[in-house]
Every structure is written in structure tokens, then in C-alpha cells.
Structure 1
């Protein structure tokens, strides 16, 4: 029995819509009191494929982590430049729409867009995203990396649910097709 895979955004943002400061810091996020892992583990079990842009991948690699955080998932990094695949990551320079539609047609769990804003922008423009799960932090950072880039796209959403994790609020939307 085949299960239709969905392309999901699961991300935290400041109340004013930023996912990081201008210098790509997330310190503001870790200063907010959450609850457990704020629903991350539950969400992570629903996906088997992880997508990210090259800037997000480079940021992850620069962190002082013992191992690649998405080691047990298929991980694809979208880039415009040539990059050599690693044991953890396959670099993608293909047509985004064809690649995502191919992934969605395969058997498996859901597909997670880890980041960043530019990759999300291209997915939204092409109407590839099925659901958005945004955890809002009660912080206003004033400027930074916006969650949603200005552009020529319009999406209608339907609220699937909300959850509260102490000071965080998770908003779960489905994209109307």
C-alpha cells in the first residue's frame, strides 16, 4: 500500500518572522523556555528524507557536533555549484520540481525541509510544500534571515492545529491545493 508522501516545513521563527539573525545566530532561540524538545522527536519520526540548501548545510557542518545530525535519514542538499557527495549527504543540482515530484512519488515517510529561506522560497513558488509547521518564539529580533522571502507567490492555508510548548506556540498549516 503506497502512502502519498508530503513535503513539510518544520521550523522555528521569531514572532517577527525571522529564522536567524543577520550573522546566522540562533542564540535568541535557545534563550526561550520550551518544553522538552518542543515536539521535535515526534515530528522527526514522521520523516525519512531531509532537504536543505547549501548555506544551511554549511552552517550545520560549522557547528561543533559529534556527528551529522541527520545521519539516519536520506539527506539531500540543493546547490548551484558542484559538490562531492559524502556518506551523509547527496548534493542536488537538478530541476527542483522534477526532483521533489520524484521523491513524493516514491514509497516512504514524509520529506522535511530543514532550511533555508531561499530553498523554501523556490519550493513555495512552485507550490511543492504540503504543510507548514512553524514554532513561534516569543522574541522579536528586528532583522535577520526572514522565514518567508518577498516574492511572486500566493498560498492559501488551512489551520490543522496548534500546540503550546511552554513559551513556544506551534502553528500547523496545510497548503490548500
Structure 2
């Protein structure tokens, strides 16, 4: 029997739970002294599929000056609008939960939820997330875009491990199902 693919959130947040400022800035994150790539390359090798919300995709493309950073991976961008696919991504304008339930049945490595908060909220409510790898930055923003939105859902987690990358702390959780 083949292993079922796992859906993993791998993301950085401020100590008070924000993934960006109200203005969508991550400048605060890039000021923190890490260690190497803070485990990114190791994690990136475990996935072959990436799921992104449209707002996060737009931010990435602006930040990367139009150069899509996730080459050689199957990338799906969820959008409320119908958009034409590119060489790098397929735009999905259909039910996120149904699409993802079909995707995890396919052969492959794990699936990475890149962001953002709205997309994650849909996955949490749909009980689709298998693991959370949260890298905590020693910064308190006070306000901004929260990683976890208020909603009618609950996840029980089991701590798989912790690591530090200089000033960052990584918390790795398995979702109890």
C-alpha cells in the first residue's frame, strides 16, 4: 500500500502570531538573524506540490520581481477569478477542499501550504492539515495579518519536535485525527 501524501504548513510568524504587517510587509522577518536557510532546503525536498492563495502569489511575484521561486514543483494557486495558467502555476477556481482531497490521492511527496491566512483557514476547517511547522521570530508586531483566523474549528496537536536556527525557534506539530 502506498503512503498517503501529507499536507504540511511550513511558515514563519511573529511571536504574537502574525505572518505579515497590515501592509503585507515581511521586513520584520528579514531583520531576524537566522542560521543558514533555517531548514527551508531540507523541508523543500520533502514536497513536490505547492498550494498558494492568490494574494500570497501576487505578493511573491512582486517580491521576486516576476521570477517564480518554486520551479520544478506542481504549483496550484487558488483564486476566486478565472485566470490563465502559466508555465509555473495552475490557477484553480473550484472548491478548495474537494480539489485537495483528490490531489492527496495522487502519487507523490508531501504537499506544502505556502499561504496565506484565508487559504489556511479553509484547510483547517476542512480538517486537511496533517502537520504544522511553525518558525517563530523573536518579534512582536502588535497587529497585522494573523496566521490563524478566528473560526469554528479546533485542532489537537502532538509536538513532534523543536529546533532553533539562531534567533528562530521551529515548532513541528502533527495534527491528531
TM-score under structure 2 normalisation? Answer: 0.97
User: Are the counterparts in 1 of residues 32 and 167 from structure 2 also a CA contact under 8 Å?
Assistant: yes
**Structure 1 residues 125-162: Cα deviation after superposition (integer angstroms, max 9, x where no partner):** 01000000000000001110100000010110000000
Alignment of 1:9 onto 2:2: no
For structure 1, the 5+ residue unaligned runs are: none
Alignment of 1:54 onto 2:49: no
Alignment of 1:10-159 (within 5 A): 10-65=10-65, 67-159=67-159
Q: Moved runs in structure 1, 4+ residues, more than 3 A?
A: none
For structure 2, the 5+ residue unaligned runs are: none
Are residues 70 and 64 of structure 1, via their aligned partners in 2, closer, same or farther at CA, if it must alter by over 3 Å?
closer
Write the distance in 1 (CA, Å) between the matches of 2:90 and 2:141: 33
Shift of 1:67: 2.4
For the aligned residue pairs, the C-alpha RMSD in angstroms reads: 1.0
Shift of 1:27: 0.4
Write the distance in 2 (CA, Å) between the matches of 1:147 and 1:66: 25
> Alignment length, in residue pairs?
177
